Amino acid sequence: MDIRTEIYLNQLAQGIVPMDKGAWWFRHQDDDHQTDALRALASFATLAGATGLIAEAALARSGLRLTSAPAVLLGKAAKMNPLGSGGVAVALAKIIALPPDERPTSFTLLVTLLMEADERRRRRCARRGCRHWWHRDLSDPAVVDRIVAERG
């Protein structure tokens, strides 16, 4: 996945890009790019420390029907291991493998999971000073251009 797409996904999770715009973008990607986006979001959420408790908060925040397939998978994992991340990781792999008609809902849920996990990680990380590129001001085009130049 290219750095500009990674930045875009992080901008969605940070609320810089509105979710409806991100959902439109996602729907207009081909199958491979949709799968890549879901994999990237799952990876980012895992790196941000998504646990069962964070997954429960993301489910509540997402506004999705809790009976949708991605929500059911993540909800079961959250209940089985609220403090751990192993069940969430297994659920994320299952969500990525869902049929194409479940992808838009999966996308919304994974963006929300990353949003929730990253917000919590930022609060902890900010105390020590954070240098991750995704914690820079991604609303500033000059910052985005520097990240692309550094990582491109």
Four-residue CA torsion sign, 76, 81, 87, 88: positive
Helix/strand/coil (H/E/C) assignment for every residue in 117-135: HHHHHHHHHHHHCCCCHHH
Four-residue CA torsion sign, 18, 22, 24, 25: positive
User: Which pair of tokens denotes residue 128?
Assistant: 């020590």
User: Which pair of tokens denotes residue 41?
Assistant: 């979001």
Digit-coded pLDDT (tens) for 123-151: 777 666 677 888 889 999 999 999 999 99
Digit-coded pLDDT (tens) for 57-97: 999 999 999 999 999 999 999 888 777 778 899 999 999 99
Domains of the chain, residue spans = 3-151
